[in-house]
Amino acid sequence: MEEIHLLLSEKKKIIQKLQKKLSVLGWLRVALFLALVYFLLQFFIFESGLRIHLYFGMVGVALFLVLGYFLLHVKQDLEFYKNYLHIGQEIINKTEFETGLDFEEETDQHPFAKDLDILGKNSLFSYINYSQTVLGRNKLKYFLLHPSVDKAQILSRQTSITELSHKTDWLLNFLTIAKSMNISGKIKHPTPKDAVFENAFVAKTAVVVIPLLTVAVLISLAFFSVPALYLTLIFAGIFAFSRLLLMVYAKNIESISQTLAFDSGQYEQFLTVFSHIEKEEFREELNLILQKKLVAGTSRSSRKEIEKLARLLRNYESGHSNIGLILNNFFLWKLNFAIKIENQIKNIEQDLPHWFEAFAEFEALVSLGIFRYKNPEYQFPVISESGEKLQAENLIHPLLFETEVVSNDFEISQSTEISIITGANMTGKSTFLRTVGINLVLAMCGCPVAAGKFVFIPMHLFTSMRTSDSLSDGTSYFNAEIVRLRNLIENLDNGKPQFIILDEILKGTNSKDKLTGSELFLEKLLKSQTLFSCLIATHDLELTKIEKKFQSKIKNYCFELENINGELQTDYKLQHGVTKSMNAIYLMRKFGIIDS
């Protein structure tokens, strides 16, 4: 993290210089304003006023405006570097996380999101996410909820993330620009059906004729003496006709405004970030593909076309200002630029969604690049095609931040299809299942994983660990679990390879039915012709006996307890075999639930 500390130290120095510059310019404007007041008072109020005072006053006004221009840019630069500093400090210090989403995600029906803490507070998403726009957040969320099983895509992301992780300053600048966009909510892309002025011949003619007529009348006043009555009638006619046109096309104008998801300032920031991407030198394939999306298509460079759209929109927005009354009623300003905006949208409507998509994917990859940068000890996984289904060394959970985290080695051979894990309460069974699951999500997203070594076969991930009932739709716990397990069987029947993680299935029934049902379910899995691997944790030791029936396909593992000075403790280390220890009665006595 030394590089980012150096970058932030440099930016702090720049901020200090900008703050001094801002103070100097501010006081200069105050001094200039006082001098301006003096010279103008001398000329207009006091008898001693000379024409030189007027000249000094006029120069003072010009200088005052120039200083205001520079002051505005200094403020913008200061805000940029403060945002840069804020993002950098967040990257360094981020340990406790909020959701980062504007709404609660419904994950009950997702194959694994709820069980593995993919979304929500203190989740994988909230740990990895540094996206500053809803576009990037949604794309990152999509990556995590839909991990790829395609080897080429996984490897492509790995190289992309690696390259981005070495561009620390570029990443921080990217996120700082993105933060200034202030983009939230659903994005609506313009579509061909939104064209409302395509056949509006009268409007297209009027926006040319009315401004020309107004300008012609104003110019004629410099050369001809026009009676006040005639002049009034001419301007009244222009005004009335303009008002009529604006009323007729009011809905069309408003629809253009609603078609655009962003204001001119946001499009200008898109221009900045697109330029930031276009100018960077990339070598890895995925980054180059995304970069080329911004310079390819039917409308050439995204930067130039977005710049044009932003300029038109800025002019359109000026029709809402104080001077808009004159611009709209005598020059049909808003109508004119609404038509021009529609034409520009028509030019780029095929490319605009692709540009936003490329930006969103870049922003998501930036977050993953930062994840790589912050965890240099994590290893990129190796994809196996015919060897072990999973081979992990020194595997840990990426969201555990204790100084001493216990790692585990774990391997699933090609022939093994089901791994049964037993152990007493609080020995680490569920945490281990989530550790395997969440690292598989990272692996299939193209990220490094929290392990010293990680070899795997990409498969669709499916979990059943936190199944719950629902009062609103009358679904019982047991019924909800049955429905979920049915979905799993359907996935296998449809030929979708599955990596299955189950924690204490069939909890909603009696022990005899639970054991029989679990055995029959595992036998059902073994009959599948589709590639799969299953990890299942259970307290039911009778279930482990199924290993003898399917010795080559089922393996038993466990977490054990050790009695140390009368205290039952675990080392959280996974072992081969079936657990021989129990602690439920011990824990109940320890917490005073039952008598000693």
Residue 118 lies in a domain: no
Q: How confident is the model at residue 36 (pLDDT cuts 50, 70, 90)?
A: confident
Whether 104 maps to a domain, the answer reads: no
349/389 same-domain check: no
Regarding whether 87 and 169 lie in a shared domain, the answer is no
* Model confidence band, residue 554 (pLDDT cutoffs 50, 70, 90): very high
* pLDDT at 52 > cutoff 60: yes
Average pLDDT over the chain, rounded to an integer? 87
- For residue 112, being part of any structural domain is answered with no
How do 567-576 and 453-456 pair as beta strands? unpaired
Write the CATH number for 564.
Answer: 3.40.50.300
Q: What is the pLDDT of residue 547?
A: 94
pTM of the model: 0.85
pLDDT(570) > 70: yes
pLDDT of 473 higher than 60 = no
pLDDT band, residue 100 (cuts 50/70/90): very low
Helix (H) or strand (E) holding 454: strand 453-456
For 462-472, the pLDDT digits (tens) are 999 986 544 44
What are the angstrom distances between the C-alpha of 300 and each of 270, 292, 297, 305, 355?
16, 10, 6, 8, 11
The residue-averaged pLDDT of 495-505 equals 94
The answer, yes or no, to whether residue 261 has pLDDT greater than 90, is no
511-531 b/e (C-beta count within 10 Å ≥ 16 → b)? eeebbeebbebbeebbebeeb
Q: Which pLDDT tens digit goes with each residue over 246-260?
A: 999 988 888 887 777
Q: What is the pLDDT of residue 472?
A: 42
Shared-domain flag, residues 310 and 345: yes
Bridge partners, 535 (sequence order): 419, 501
Same domain (yes/no): 424, 513: yes
For residue 162, pLDDT over 90 is answered with yes
Of 364, 391, 416, which residue sits at a domain end?
364
* The predicted structure's pLDDT at residue 296: 63
Q: Report residue 102's pLDDT band, with 50, 70 and 90 as the boundaries.
A: very low
Do 567 and 585 lie in one domain? The reply is yes
Average pLDDT over residues 300-309: 79
Total number of domains in the chain: 4
pLDDT score at 414: 87
Residue 244 domain flag? yes
Yes or no: say if 354 and 195 are a contact pair by the CB < 8 Å rule: no
The confidence score (pLDDT) of residue 40 equals 76
Whether residue 100 lies inside any domain: the answer is no
**Do 493 and 410 reside in the same domain of the chain?**
yes
Report the C-alpha gap between 70 and 80 in whole angstroms.
15
- Rounded CA separation 438/450 (Å): 9
State the pLDDT at residue 487. Answer: 94
- Centre a 10 Å sphere on the Cβ of residue 278 and count the other Cβ atoms it contains: 14
Which of 322, 343, 374 is the endpoint of a domain? Answer: 374
Please give the pLDDT value at position 266: 81
Residues 174, 209, single domain; the answer is no
Examine residue 85 and state whether it is found in any structural domain, yes or no. Answer: yes
Question: What is the model's pLDDT at position 354?
Answer: 86
pLDDT at 294: 85
Taking residues 513-533, report their average pLDDT: 94
CA distances from 247 to 208, 241, 328, 337, 349 (A): 18, 10, 12, 16, 27
Q: Are residues 145 and 43 in the same domain?
A: no
CA-to-CA distance for 177 and 291, rounded, in angstroms? 17
The verdict on residue 401 lying in a domain is yes
pLDDT value at position 253?
Answer: 85
User: In sequence order, which residues have a C-beta less than 8 Å from that of residue 226 and are 6 or more positions away?
Assistant: 220
Q: Are 380 and 158 in contact (CB under 8 A)?
A: yes
- Predicted confidence at residue 585, as pLDDT, reads 62
Q: Does residue 544 carry a pLDDT above 50?
A: yes
Is residue 98 one of the residues assigned to a domain?
Answer: no
Q: Are residues 359 and 394 in the same domain?
A: no
Looking at the fold, whether 428 and 572 belong to one and the same domain comes out as yes
Min mean pLDDT across 31-35, 96-100, 428-432, 441-445 is at 96-100
Are residues 516 and 563 located together in one domain of the fold?
yes
pLDDT interval class at 450 (50, 70, 90): very high
Q: What tens digit of pLDDT does each residue of 320-375 get?
A: 887 888 888 899 999 999 899 888 888 887 888 888 899 999 999 999 999 999 99
pLDDT-derived band of residue 300, with 50, 70 and 90 as boundaries? low
Q: Is 52 exposed, middle or buried (0-12, 13-18, 19+ CB in 10 A)?
A: exposed
pLDDT confidence band for 101 (50 / 70 / 90): very low
Parent domain of 176: 124-184+366-374
Mean pLDDT, residues 205-213 taken together: 92
Residue 264 has a pLDDT of: 79
351, 374, 397 - which closes a domain: 374
Label residue 20 by pLDDT band (50, 70, 90).
very high
Is 39 in the same domain as 162?
no
